Amino acid sequence: MNSILIFFISFFTLLFQNTLDLRNQYEYASKSKNNTEKFYELIQKVNGDSPVIIAYKGAAILLKSRFVTNKEERKEQFMLGVKTVEQAVAKDANSVEIRLIRLSIQEHTPKFLKYKSNIEEDKKIILLGFNKQNSGLKEYIQRYVFQSKVFTDFEKSKLN
């Protein structure tokens, strides 16, 4: 009995730590090619199929696609990243963290790629679910929202 309890505690501690690492790396991944590579390498080492992990994997693929020089390969990588993020949303449509990941991607995707259709929907879920999140995730959300251009000042004030 004790060994089973220890296993579950260890598993969830590792999963929680992986999620924190992913959040931290994701925040900086878009700032440079080197940061994108580090984030992509980190996510490749993470085992698990939780919807949040899947969303970060999709985000890593999308970020990495920006640096692919071959247009056809870049498009394939982009589409794979979108598909992966959308799978995560389908698995847990009410996850505020997954919605934040998708919103952050859609906000910064060029218009011609036509991947911006869920911003308002994601904003709504983020704003409605914000107060139910743990303090670490709240801080993460606030850091993103306060610098985002898709949130109004009024919406930002709801997160204080």
**Which residues constitute the domain of residue 29?**
2-157
- The predicted model scores a pTM of 0.87
In the chain, how many domains are there? 1
Q: What is the pLDDT of residue 21?
A: 82
pLDDT over 90, % of the chain: 82
pLDDT (0 to 100) of residue 5: 37
Half-sphere exposure of 95 (CA within 13 A, CB side): 22
Tokens 């440079």, located at residue? 32
Separation CA 102–CA 146 (nearest Å): 17
pLDDT reported for residue 73: 97
pLDDT in tens, 15-67: 444 678 889 899 999 999 999 999 999 999 988 889 999 999 999 999 999 99
Predicted pLDDT of residue 2: 52
Q: For residue 7, what pLDDT band results from cuts at 50, 70 and 90?
A: very low
Backbone angles phi, psi at 150, to 5 degrees: -90, -10
